[in-house]
Amino acid sequence: MAGNAGDAQARPLAIEARGLVKRFDGFTAVDGVDLSVPEGAIYGILGPNGAGKTTTLRMLLGIIDPDEGVRRVLGHDRPHEVAHTIGYLPEERGLYPAMKAYEAIAFLGALRGLPLAEGRRRGRELLEEHGLGYAADRQIRQLSKGMAQQVQLLGTLVHEPRLVVFDEPFSGLDALNQGKLERMIRALAAKGTTVIFSTHVIAHAERLCDAVAIIAGGKVPFAGPVDVARDRIRPQVRLETRASDGPWRAALPADARHEGSFWYFSLPESGIEPLLRALIEGEAGILSLSIERAGLHDAFVAIAGEAAARALEEEKEEARR
């Protein structure tokens, strides 16, 4: 991840949004969203399709205006004023089929104010750097879907933006290219670029993000560091003992369950040390003991609910087909 929560709190904000609301034909798609994204952070917006992720991103970028609330992007109240310093990869991909790969990159840069000649030079350089130099003069229609997606991704970055916004960037990429994109996101953050991406795949957010906003039904029940989200659920303990009974049993938490020679329970609020003393003094015979923190998936279920979690899983299965 790009940095720890303490560092993030000390950095100025790349994006600040308060009370964003957006309605379409009487339907409230986004209902009071608050976000704070520090500069240089990798920030994930996590939720199922239809939760309000894309609408939120479009409001932040100024593509659509909120019906209520305010947003501030890179210190500006009007996102269009800093559009040339932002890179945006929409969920709906699209390039002109007749354009050559390097020209497509240059064209996307030109839309953000980069001179066309410089964009062409950088386009060829970027394609070489990412192992696609051989395809620079191929038309988009001659590229595979994955290659075309990489070209559009490079076009999002060619003008060297301070803020990059990806909407479902991993969608449609195979495992190899997903790994490449993860490395690219980390490299951007290492240079100080702020990266925001929406996703319905929790694993990407857990591996990459400093902080996340969990969005469900147009609301954000949680926004903050990934570790804080995970700490919503107490760590789980697995204990293996030689003895099956004894005075030490009274020290186990009320939720402890026994399966074979193992005990499973939540880490007591007092910590593990008092329990260890009771186990040792009671001659339980500790064979193994492990403490596992909750993952982001479990935290998502606890925060957003079972229905939102099921929707995420269904989308993952659909993407595999």
Percent of the chain at pLDDT exceeding 90 = 69
pLDDT score recorded for residue 67:
95
Q: Is the pLDDT of residue 213 over 70?
A: yes
pLDDT score recorded for residue 314:
73
Residue type, 304: A
pLDDT score recorded for residue 186:
95
The backbone torsions φ and ψ at residue 101, rounded to the nearest 5 degrees and listed phi first, read -55, -45
- 3-state DSSP call for residue 56? helix
Q: 270 or 30: which carries more pLDDT confidence?
A: 30
> Domains of the chain, with CATH numbers?
5-224 (3.40.50.300), 236-292 (no CATH)
Q: How many CB atoms lie within 10 A of CB 166?
A: 24
pLDDT score recorded for residue 8:
54
pLDDT score recorded for residue 5:
47
Residue type, 309: A
pTM of the model: 0.83
The mean per-residue pLDDT over the stretch 122-142 comes to: 95
User: pLDDT digit string (tens) for 77-106?
Assistant: 999 999 999 999 998 878 899 999 999 999
Q: How far apart are CA 123 and CA 4, in angstroms?
A: 33
Q: How far apart are CA 100 and CA 96, in angstroms?
A: 9
**Token pair 């702020």: residue:** 194
**Token pair 């690219």: residue:** 184
And the tokens for 320? 């595999």
Q: Is the pLDDT of residue 319 over 80?
A: no
Average pLDDT score, the chain: 90
**DSSP label at residue 173:** -
Percent of the chain at pLDDT exceeding 70 = 95
pLDDT score recorded for residue 62:
93
CB 173, CB 149: distance < 8 Å: yes
The mean per-residue pLDDT over the stretch 291-305 comes to: 87
Q: How far apart are CA 144 and CA 147, in angstroms?
A: 5
And the tokens for 90? 């929409």
pLDDT score recorded for residue 132:
93
The mean per-residue pLDDT over the stretch 203-214 comes to: 93
Half-sphere exposure of 110 (CA within 13 A, CB side): 14
